[in-house]
Chain A
């Protein structure tokens, strides 16, 4: 009895049948966790170039949300210095104007966001500001989609997307940058 047991322990090979399972598990783990695509970014549509001076349009100043970024990477929003962390919240308030204040946009369609930077502004800051402004719009659209259709913006149908986009259009105008802090 004792002898038989020993034989059993020594003579057998390791069962490699489950090796494949483990290998596949690892494969799937890496496939899921690895982030391969670096090819993502902020999609922006530039305005066409024209030599004519821009039309002299008078937007009601309550509908204009001006964001200035200087060469020290500081923000001036509607004449007031602001932390970049508060920009998204503030922009959302301006566009949606939930309490119908007289210094904020009449309707989201009328709201114009104007962005101006300096030639000395760090690209990192500029992109962060751009990102926050886009995020403010994205969040508003998302809220609208949730309220109307009970779904996130990305899950509603294309027609509904179009409707919401028309309701909350992203109007972002970029002014010619100033040149106070050009890098030497």
Chain B
């Protein structure tokens, strides 16, 4: 009878079993751990890659070096202006810095695999081909011929 009374007062609802709550939290944690990619470089240029359909996946990340091209983000526009710039590693660079950058990456890779080095070009869609052409020429001069124009899958 006392039980009945309690429940009419609205306090007698049984406590939720929270034993599985940790499981769920851990699950979420693992999910985000898997999904989140650790970004080791801060992007100083804004890059929004265009869409394409003929995509190839980049394999073996250690054999890939990344080149970013885009307009500086608002934070850096005061200093660097709004013209498209090249970013190598985590700092702004000019085309002249490219050979050294490639050589540094190349020397960290065993000789056997050096021919498989790919340059991933992450270029903003609204950049004009002038700077892209210059980069391509510099890459060819540095004998870095395998490149990958980064692109998003086509949105249907």
Chain A interface (Cβ < 8 Å from any Cβ of B): 6-7, 10-14, 16, 19-20, 23-24, 26-27, 30-31, 34-49, 71, 117-124, 126-128, 130-131, 134-135, 138, 177, 179, 181-183
Contact = CB atoms under 8 A, between A and B. Distances in A.
Nearest to A138: B54
Interface of B: 3-4, 7, 12, 14-17, 19-20, 23-24, 27, 31, 34-35, 37, 49-50, 52-58, 61, 64, 83-84, 118, 120-121, 123-130, 132-133, 136-137, 139-141, 143, 145-153
B151 A46 contact: no
A41 B24 contact: no
Given A41-B56, A42-B55, A10 B127 contact: no
A14 to B, nearest CB: 6
A109 B86 CA distance: 38
8 contacts: A7-B3, A16-B17, A31-B34, A38-B152, A42-B52, A46-B140, A122-B128, A123-B123
A127 B149 contact: yes
A144 to B, nearest CB: 17
Contacts of A14: 14, 16-17
A127 B50 contact: yes
The 3 closest A-B pairs by CB, nearest first: A124-B125, A119-B130, A49-B140
Contacts of A24: 27
Given A128-B50, A130-B149, A179-B130, 13 more contacts: A7-B3, A11-B3, A13-B15, A30-B35, A36-B35, A41-B56, A41-B150, A42-B55, A42-B151, A119-B133, A123-B127, A182-B130, A183-B128
